[in-house]
Structure 1
Amino acid sequence: MNDDPMIDQLVDAALPHVAFDGWSQTAFDAAVRDSDLDPVQARTLCPRGAVDLAIAFHKRGDAAMVAALGQADLSDMRFRDKVAHAIRLRIRAVDDKEAVRRGSALFALPHMAPEGAKLIWGTADAIWNALGDTLHDVNWYTKRLTLAGVYSSVVLYWLGDDSVDMQATDAFIDRRIDNVMQFEKFKAQAKDNPFVKPFAGVLGRMASAVKPPKDVADMDLPGTWRGPN
């Protein structure tokens, strides 16, 4: 859920219109009308109108995924299976596939692409945090970047999946996680390569110098929008 329940109210009111009008001004105006909110108050809550509602819809899915992970028994799972399970929970947190499709179209627009990238990064960050990631080196970034790529490809595949109980998407998730694990295995083997070893010390010192931000909310990420001064 979002910090302000009125934003969730607007999102819920917008969803029936998004299927026809996308995350547009038309859908936003209809949501304001259907929710009986004062238009000025609605615009204060969502200065960018439907764009802010699309973002709120995405973040609501992230919050539902984190809540579901918190209730799941992951004790007998390998870590790779925990990540796959988190991705599945995130997909299943979506209660309106068409809204995601329309959101994908919105955030594919050139001027909205940075905002879309930030949302995908946020999902990857939420998954790693929920799984207890405690690394404080360059891996903080690389793990989230890798997972962001996996998740975005899963979403695109899922949007076209009409299999029973999402079976095709489940298999796709497993394949993508396998790809990542193969890459990680390759990196581990490369460290023992005699041609790589001379550079290991330098790369290690460079990696140790990279630290994750103390406050992700204050990161100057692409798509960051802090509102009017």
Structure 2
Amino acid sequence: MTNLTDKMIDAALPHVAFDGWSQATFEAAMEDSGAVPAAAKAAFPRGAVDLALAFHKRGDAQMVAALKTRDLYDMRFRDRVAHAVRLRLELAEPHKEAVRRGTTLFALPLYAADGAKAVWGTCDAIWDTLGDMSEDYNWYTKRSILSAVYGSTVLFWLGDESEDHAATWGFLDRRIDNVMQFEKVKGATLNNPMFAKVFAGPLWALGKVKAPSKLSRSDLPGQWRDPSAS
């Protein structure tokens, strides 16, 4: 995150509760942060929509940083995943209304793809930080399943009024348990010789699926860099 991005997010948050992630919020954030309008509009071409996405990505970065300081060695892997999701929401708790407004924004058909990409990014960050080494189709299935778990948990959390969000953590544990049951069934099915024989073609095709490269491309045009960033 650049200095400009952080300043804009921090300046926007007090306004989001009243005006949502709107143009009014974006303009107020520019004024309150003292950002140069041209720089702010270059950093956030779609205004408040891109600002809301930056807020979400900052939350992901905070989660990753916090996870790296935790000793998760003695945890079962399913508990590590649940812990990561819970940590992501606990870090967002001070700005729960901003998350609610963001959920409303990305429920709109125009921005639904952005919302789905943001959730996918969160789940990708969780799996990467927990050490997922998948390089085949499992890379996609793990993130797809966790995206469904994470998305449903966020919606439950937004409406949860139980003490310390105890109901949310119970809901999360049940969803993780459902996933683990699915994985057991999937493993047994794939190891069944009859299944492997009948679906030899599709299984061969799945074996050709590879995870996307994580290497960054610095040779691509159209990238903007904040001149105030160190």
TM-score higher than 0.5 here?
yes
Asked whether the equivalents of residues 119 and 151 of structure 2 are also in contact (C-alpha less than 8 Å), the reply is yes
The residue number in structure 2 matching 1:25 is: 23
Alpha-carbon distance in structure 2 between the residues aligned to 1:88 and 1:127: 11
Higher relative contact order (CA 8 A, sep 6+): 2
Indicate yes or no: 2:76 matched with 1:85: no
Indicate yes or no: 2:84 matched with 1:124: no
The residue number in structure 1 matching 2:147 is: 148
Cα 1:75–1:203 change in 2 (3 A) is: same
Asked whether the equivalents of residues 7 and 56 of structure 1 are also in contact (C-alpha less than 8 Å), the reply is yes
User: Secondary structure, in 3 states, of the residue corresponding to 2:110?
Assistant: coil
The residue number in structure 1 matching 2:103 is: 104
Alpha-carbon distance in structure 2 between the residues aligned to 1:22 and 1:59: 18
Alpha-carbon distance in structure 2 between the residues aligned to 1:196 and 1:154: 34
Deviation at 1:200? 5.0
The residue number in structure 1 matching 2:158 is: 159
The residue number in structure 1 matching 2:62 is: 64
Alpha-carbon distance in structure 2 between the residues aligned to 1:45 and 1:191: 47
CA RMSD of aligned residues (A): 1.8
The residue number in structure 1 matching 2:135 is: 136
Equivalent positions of 1:189-208 (< 5 A) are 189-193=188-192, 195-208=194-207
For residues 187-215 of structure 1, what are the alpha-carbon distances to aligned partners after superposition, in whole Å with 9 as ceiling and x for unaligned?
Answer: 12223556523235434322220001113
Gaps of 5+ in 2: 225-230
For residues 170-202 of structure 1, what are the alpha-carbon distances to aligned partners after superposition, in whole Å with 9 as ceiling and x for unaligned?
Answer: 101100000101111111222355652323543
Alpha-carbon distance in structure 2 between the residues aligned to 1:131 and 1:217: 21
The residue number in structure 1 matching 2:228 is: none
Cα 1:216–1:110 change in 2 (3 A) is: farther
Asked whether the equivalents of residues 121 and 144 of structure 1 are also in contact (C-alpha less than 8 Å), the reply is yes
Asked whether the equivalents of residues 158 and 169 of structure 1 are also in contact (C-alpha less than 8 Å), the reply is yes
Cα 1:45–1:191 change in 2 (3 A) is: closer
TM-score relative to the length of structure 2: 0.90
Alpha-carbon distance in structure 2 between the residues aligned to 1:106 and 1:227: 26
Deviation at 1:40? 1.9
For residues 79-114 of structure 1, what are the alpha-carbon distances to aligned partners after superposition, in whole Å with 9 as ceiling and x for unaligned?
Answer: 100100010111112130000000000001001000
The residue number in structure 1 matching 2:38 is: 40
Q: Identical aligned pairs, as a percentage?
A: 57
What amino acid maps onto 2:183 in structure 1? Answer: E
Alpha-carbon distance in structure 1 between the residues aligned to 2:182 and 2:216: 30
TM-score relative to the length of structure 1: 0.90
What amino acid maps onto 1:20 in structure 2? Answer: F
Asked whether the equivalents of residues 191 and 200 of structure 1 are also in contact (C-alpha less than 8 Å), the reply is no
The residue number in structure 1 matching 2:227 is: none
The residue number in structure 2 matching 1:172 is: 171
User: Secondary structure, in 3 states, of the residue corresponding to 2:68?
Assistant: helix
Alpha-carbon distance in structure 1 between the residues aligned to 2:141 and 2:203: 14
Alpha-carbon distance in structure 1 between the residues aligned to 2:162 and 2:121: 28
What amino acid maps onto 1:135 in structure 2? Answer: S
Corresponding pairs, count = 219
